[in-house]
Structure 1
Amino acid sequence: MAFESVDALQRTLAETVFQYAADRKKAAGRALGTLVEIITFYTLHTWNLRDHVVIERSVPEFANPEILHNVEFSLHPIQARHEVEISPLSLPLTAAKIKRHLPFLHETTVKSTQALSRDAVKRNATILVESETGPVIANVDTLSDSNCRLIVCELSTDPFAIFECKRVGVEEGMRKGPQTKEKAKHGAYVAPSVSSLQKVRLRNGQFQGVMEQPDGSFRTGLYDEVLREVIDSSSAVELAGFILTVGVVSNHGNWFTSDNRNKELRVLAQSYDWLLFLTDAGLSQFIDRLLLNPTPELEPAREAFLASYPRSSGTNRFTKVRMAVDADEALRSVLHGARSRG
């Protein structure tokens, strides 16, 4: 089923999935935001970046550590990587149980968190401990009834990239409102403030890239050219303090066209280093296969989604942080398959 816009998709979700909610449209909108975050996380997974990811972490401004900004996903260099086999497996799989298999953590107090719950819900990028050099995270890699394999990574404190999700636009029946503007303003402030590579607008409207070197001199050039040079560099000196900023945007169909870009889009495009779009067609195809006309391979993910949005209170089993094991397997399989075909 094709939808002409995210508005139409949101209306359909409100009428078919969230018809019980007091504010069906708001419930559908929140679910769309969650889906964008999930798509982003599993896309990073297909790019073999899962073990670098920390979810919902505060990132300091460059050279101004007193001010922190929370971002959906930050990607950090891996200092050390450990494979842990736990057999026999006893649930819940807590940080304390994982610690027993990691000698370097024996003298450390770990967090009271679970990488895998008793009801088979995994926690993506479980933080076991925050050390002086950075977070130690665990991801469930493979799982059976009797054993579990985890990948535990010691990460550096400073990220090399951040990903933020922005489901923005002018919703049906509304004029351009404060929420859209605030999302754009937030991205416009955070993205340029966290990296050592700074933007300066020239009189001709172009952006100059400026990066202070350790000796106090400045490396400058057109921003996109300096950005490319830094990304391609293997110099630890050049990369120190550099953070690639990426915005992942799903837009309402009436937010902009190729000929008419609204101010908010221009603000985001000029703030992030890269701006990635989830098209209306791509997002609606995924949700159609997941919820509206479910395919067999995504049925476990659909069940986890519906269990997370019950008529009465329920437990989240379908978010970027907490994901049912069978739903996780389904999403990985489908998105890895889509990547190999694409």
Structure 2
Amino acid sequence: MAFESVDALQRTLAETVFQYAADRKKAAGRALGTLVEIITFYTLHTWNLRDHVVIERSVPEFANPEILHNVEFSLHPIQARHEVEISPLSLPLTAAKIKRHLPFLHETTVKSTQALSRDAVKRNATILVESETGPVIANVDTLSDSNCRLIVCELSTDPFAIFECKRVGVEEGMRKGPQTIEKAKQGAYVARSVSSLQKVRLRNGQFQGVMEQPDGSFRTGLYDEVLREVIDSSSAVELAGFILTVGVVSNHGNWFTSDNRNKELRVLAQSYDWLLFLTDAGLSQFIDRLLLNPTPELEPAREAFLASYPRSSGTNRFTKVRMAVDADEALRSVLHGARSRG
């Protein structure tokens, strides 16, 4: 099934999946936001970046640590990587149980969190402890009835990249009001304040990149050129304080066919280093196969989604943080397959 826009997709979700909700459209909109976050996380997974990821972490402004900004995904250098085999497996799999298999944590108080719950819901990027050098995270790698293999990574405090998910534009039935542009401005402010590579607009409209060196001198040039040079650099000095800022954008309406991009999109495009776009066709195809005309391989993910949005109270089993084990396997399989075909 093809949808001409995200608005049409949201209407269909409201009518077919969230028909019980008091505000069907709002419920469908929130679900779309969750799906964009999930697509982003599992895309990072297919890029072999999962073990670098911390979810919903506060990142300080560059050289201004008193001000922190919460970001959806931050990617950190790995200082050490450990493989942990737990057998026999007893659920829930808590941080305390994982700690017993990691000698370097024996004298450390870990968080009261679960990497795997009693009802088979895994927690992506489980933070076991926050050390002086950075977070220690665990990800369930493989799982059977009797044993579990985890990857535990000691990460550096400072990230090298952040990913934020943004739905921009004006939803059907809404007037163009301050709320949409203000959300874009919030994301733009974070994108332009966390990295050592600063962006300055010149009189001709171009952006100049400026990065202070340890000796107080300045490295400067056209922003995109300096950005590419820094990304390609292997110098720890040049990379200190640098954070690549990435926005993942889904848009209401066909922004990519319009000569006049909306104000929100312009603000984001001029602030993030990179913007990755989820096209209407791509997003609708994924949701169609997941929910509206489910394919067999995504059936576990569909069940987890519906269990997270029941008519009465329920437990989240389908978010970027908490994901049902069988849904996780289905999403990994489908997205890895899509990458290999692409």
Question: Into which bin does the TM-score normalised by the smaller protein fall?
Answer: over 0.9
- C-alpha displacement at 1:255, in angstroms? 5.4
- C-alpha displacement at 1:228, in angstroms? 0.1
Structure 2: segments with no counterpart, 5+ residues: none
- C-alpha displacement at 1:178, in angstroms? 2.4
Query: Conserved in 2, the CA contact under 8 Å of 1:308 and 1:318?
Result: yes
2:176 & 2:14 partners in 1: Cα distance? 21
Q: What do residues 183-223 of structure 1 show as CA deviations (whole Å, max 9, x unaligned)?
A: 11111110010000000100000000000000000000000
- TM-score scaled to structure 1, two decimals? 0.99
Query: Conserved in 1, the CA contact under 8 Å of 2:169 and 2:262?
Result: no
- C-alpha displacement at 1:179, in angstroms? 2.5
Q: What do residues 32-59 of structure 1 show as CA deviations (whole Å, max 9, x unaligned)?
A: 0000000000000000000000000000
Q: What RMSD over aligned residues (CA atoms) do the two structures have, in Å?
A: 0.7
- C-alpha displacement at 1:254, in angstroms? 5.5
1:258 & 1:132 partners in 2: Cα distance? 49
Query: Conserved in 2, the CA contact under 8 Å of 1:170 and 1:252?
Result: yes
Within the alignment, does 1:169 sit opposite 2:141 as a pair? Answer: no
1:208 & 1:149 partners in 2: Cα distance? 47
Q: What do residues 51-106 of structure 1 show as CA deviations (whole Å, max 9, x unaligned)?
A: 00000000000000000000000000000000000000000000000000000000
- C-alpha displacement at 1:262, in angstroms? 1.4
Q: How does 1:41-56 map to 2 (within 5 A)?
A: 41-56=41-56
Give the equivalent residue in structure 1 for 2:96: 96
Query: Conserved in 2, the CA contact under 8 Å of 1:294 and 1:302?
Result: yes
User: Which has the higher mean CA deviation after the structures are superposed, 173-182 or 330-339?
Assistant: 173-182
Give 3-state SS (helix, strand or coil) of 2:128's partner. Answer: strand
2:256 & 2:64 partners in 1: Cα distance? 35
User: Which has the higher mean CA deviation after the structures are superposed, 321-330 or 261-270?
Assistant: 261-270
- C-alpha displacement at 1:175, in angstroms? 2.0
Give 3-state SS (helix, strand or coil) of 2:159's partner. Answer: coil
Q: What do residues 153-172 of structure 1 show as CA deviations (whole Å, max 9, x unaligned)?
A: 00000000000000121111
1:173 & 1:99 partners in 2: Cα distance? 52
Give 3-state SS (helix, strand or coil) of 2:42's partner. Answer: helix
1:72 & 1:167 partners in 2: Cα distance? 14
1:214 & 1:59 partners in 2: Cα distance? 22
Q: How many residues align?
A: 342
Q: How does 1:216-295 map to 2 (within 5 A)?
A: 216-253=216-253, 257-295=257-295
- C-alpha displacement at 1:330, in angstroms? 0.1
Give 3-state SS (helix, strand or coil) of 1:98's partner. Answer: helix
2:139 & 2:169 partners in 1: Cα distance? 34
2:19 & 2:177 partners in 1: Cα distance? 25
Query: Conserved in 1, the CA contact under 8 Å of 2:210 and 2:219?
Result: yes
Give the equivalent residue in structure 1 for 2:82: 82
1:168 & 1:137 partners in 2: Cα distance? 32
Query: Conserved in 1, the CA contact under 8 Å of 2:180 and 2:264?
Result: yes
Aligned-residue sequence identity (percent) comes to 99
Query: Conserved in 1, the CA contact under 8 Å of 2:254 and 2:280?
Result: no
1:179 & 1:331 partners in 2: Cα distance? 33
- C-alpha displacement at 1:28, in angstroms? 0.2
Query: Conserved in 2, the CA contact under 8 Å of 1:170 and 1:255?
Result: no
1:178 & 1:149 partners in 2: Cα distance? 48
- C-alpha displacement at 1:257, in angstroms? 3.7
1:84 & 1:100 partners in 2: Cα distance? 10
Give 3-state SS (helix, strand or coil) of 1:229's partner. Answer: helix
- C-alpha displacement at 1:174, in angstroms? 1.7
- C-alpha displacement at 1:145, in angstroms? 0.1
1:178 & 1:123 partners in 2: Cα distance? 35
Query: Conserved in 1, the CA contact under 8 Å of 2:170 and 2:180?
Result: yes
Give 3-state SS (helix, strand or coil) of 2:192's partner. Answer: helix
1:76 & 1:305 partners in 2: Cα distance? 29
